[in-house]
Amino acid sequence: MHSELDDQRVLQICLTHLVAAIKTSKDLREMSGDPSVQASMLSPLLILSSDLLTSSTRYHNVGGELASYAMNYSLRIAETHCGKRDVLTELTDKLEHYIEWVIRAQRTKQSVTASQAVQ
């Protein structure tokens, strides 16, 4: 029971920081015009959150999804530099929707699985 409460607290802290970082990264992107700002702000938090959550039995899938987003930011940075078009903003929007979905699932006490996250 104690471990489950700790896991839930870690999830809440990770999601709170990610939500704040997404908002800040979007604001900075608008001010600077540089979409790579999003990746530089979000990637470290995604990696840390992933590491913390993948060790949890209950939130292992969420940790895996966050790791996938971190990897996607790396790929999208390369695509942005090669193609000179912004593909990072779309990824940030998807991440934001995923985090909102996880938060809603937690409020209704649904189990969070990778297959549900894709929807």
Percent of the chain with pLDDT over 90: 59
Q: What is the pTM of this model?
A: 0.80
Cβ–Cβ < 8 Å for 84, 92: no
Give residue for tokens 């990264």.
Answer: 25
Domain-wise residue ranges, the chain: 2-118
For residue range 16-37, list pLDDT tens digits in order: 999 999 999 999 999 999 888 8
94: which residues sit within 8 A by CB, 6+ positions away?
69
Using the predicted structure, report yes or no on whether residue 98 has a pLDDT greater than 90.
yes
Checking if the pLDDT of 117 tops 50, the result is no
pLDDT in tens, 71-82: 999 888 888 778
